[in-house]
Amino acid sequence: ASRAGTRRRYHDDGISDEEIDGRRMFDLEEKVNSQRFSSDRVLRMEGRDFTYEFIQRGGLTEPIIFERPDGLDPPFTRRMIDVMDVSTQKGTEMSMAQWTRYSETPPSQREKLYNVISLEFSHTKLENLVKRPATVDLIDWVDNMWPRHLKERQRDSTNSINDMQYPKVQKYCLMSVEGCYTDFHIDFGGTSVWYHILRGSKVFWLIPPTPQNLELYENWVLSGKQGDVFLGDRASDCQRIELKQGCTFIIPSGLTLTLARALSLYLSLYLYAEGCHTYM
């Protein structure tokens, strides 16, 4: 779901109404290269070891990276849409055709940076081409607890609340161009997340959900000065990790994360609710 507070309509010759001039007061490139975010909380695993029994024994408490999809089973397979203006972190809309033209524009000719973060594609033809790790299927609350007849009643492929029969947050396609950045946030509703990097690369900063860090995050959000302060500089135990093409990444609920795109990329993201380690 988009974190945008207002929505605008994109036009090829610019934004139709007044823009907010959003500027970061910190150097993102410096944060990418800094040695400060060297905490080591992310587990590295082989796909065959990520099983239902693994979740039962210890829950899902730490982020996990799989550098190859082997063993996750099944393997990964190769509309108006919401986009986010990276400079303001505000939302606007494009058609798919407009996004395609924009993403194929040489970087030196792009006047703004846009980021697709809310393209949920369940109930489209793409849905059957993308499968989740088998263990995610076993622990997802939407599949295991939501009334099945309501999910089967869903016909609309958009995320219109009026037409939604179930929490339609299971399959997202995220697309970004080089230089994009999404500010620190906690994914909604206590959901855990898994990512697979189809093309390009992605840099994460992860902050563990300790009481002190959650209070710091709340105060940072309420301050309205997110562009002035890089939250990772103030939080304890912040870790930076870069995901490359072919990597799969699992993030437990409750972690505060921010992400930057070091290279042009296309990736898929999927949200799921699970009861092993849920923060609300």
- Of 117, 123, 122, 115, nearest to 171 by C-alpha is 122
The C-alpha atoms of residue 239 and residue 40 are separated, in whole angstroms, by: 7
The angle subtended at Cα 172 by Cα 171 and Cα 178, nearest 5°, is 155
The C-alpha atoms of residue 115 and residue 261 are separated, in whole angstroms, by: 10
- The pLDDT, as a whole number, for residue 280 is 32
Question: CA neighbours within 13 Å on the CB side: how many for 125?
Answer: 1
Q: Are 72 and 47 in contact (CB under 8 A)?
A: yes
- Of 103, 65, 87, nearest to 197 by C-alpha is 65
Given a cut of 80, whether residue 38 has pLDDT beyond it is yes
Q: What is the mean pLDDT of residues 105-117?
A: 89
- The pLDDT, as a whole number, for residue 207 is 93
Q: What is the mean pLDDT of residues 175-202?
A: 85
Q: What is the DSSP string of 85-102?
A: ETTTTEEEEE-HHHHHHH
The C-alpha atoms of residue 65 and residue 55 are separated, in whole angstroms, by: 15
Q: Strand, coil or helix: what is 110?
A: coil
Domain boundaries, the chain: 30-272
- The pLDDT, as a whole number, for residue 55 is 87
The angle subtended at Cα 271 by Cα 97 and Cα 200, nearest 5°, is 55
- The pLDDT, as a whole number, for residue 218 is 94
CATH class held by domain 30-272? mainly beta
Residue 16 backbone phi and psi in degrees, to 5:
-75, -30
The C-alpha atoms of residue 62 and residue 250 are separated, in whole angstroms, by: 8
Mean pLDDT of the chain: 79
Given a cut of 60, whether residue 8 has pLDDT beyond it is no
pLDDT for 122-135, tens place per residue?
888 888 888 888 88
Label residue 44 by pLDDT band (50, 70, 90). Answer: very high
- CB atoms < 10 A from the CB of 122, how many? 19
- The pLDDT, as a whole number, for residue 220 is 93
- The pLDDT, as a whole number, for residue 206 is 93
Q: Strand, coil or helix: what is 50?
A: coil
- The pLDDT, as a whole number, for residue 22 is 57
